[in-house]
């Protein structure tokens, strides 16, 4: 079965509800089959996405942030057209995350 990677490719405006309040970020995502690569840009830094996967509905990834402190994180969201929702987690627990794809 072929996966349509266009379901996650593009630029996404994201908001995460964290213990430090709502955090905004921008995801730039590229796909090759089920593999997803790209970056997450925050006010503090730009982070490389690793182990990104998209199965046609669910996008999962990992990333290592360094600001405001070093932490490994993982995310899982469900894509519905030009929106997704799910969560991103680390040792502090899981935070809700939602995103909206920017128009081309």
Question: Structure tokens of 89?
Answer: 């987690």
Helix, strand or coil, per DSSP, at residue 83: strand
Whether the predicted pLDDT of 4 surpasses 60: no
- pLDDT for 104 equals 72
Helix, strand or coil, per DSSP, at residue 7: helix
Q: Is the preceding omega at residue 104 within 30 degrees of 0, hence cis?
A: no
Q: What is the pLDDT of residues 78-94, one digit of tens each?
A: 999 999 999 998 776 78
- pLDDT for 6 equals 62
Q: What is the pLDDT of residues 26-75, one digit of tens each?
A: 999 999 989 999 999 998 899 999 999 999 999 999 999 887 778 899 99
Helix, strand or coil, per DSSP, at residue 104: coil
What pTM does this model have? 0.88
Whether the predicted pLDDT of 2 surpasses 50: no
Q: Quick one: pLDDT band at residue 7, thresholds 50, 70, 90? A: confident
- pLDDT for 3 equals 47
């Amino acid at each position: 079965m072929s996966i349509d990677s266009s379901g996650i490719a593009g630029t996404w405006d994201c908001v995460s509800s964290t213990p430090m309040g709502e955090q905004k970020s921008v995801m730039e995502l590229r796909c090759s089959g089920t593999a997803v690569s790209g970056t997450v840009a925050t006010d503090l830094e730009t982070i490389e996405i690793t182990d990104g996967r998209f199965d046609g509905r669910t996008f999962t990834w990992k990333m290592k942030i360094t600001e405001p402190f070093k932490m490994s994180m993982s995310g899982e969201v469900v894509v519905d057209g030009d929106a997704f929702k799910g969560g991103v987690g680390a040792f502090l627990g899981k935070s809700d995350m939602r995103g909206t794809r920017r128009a081309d």
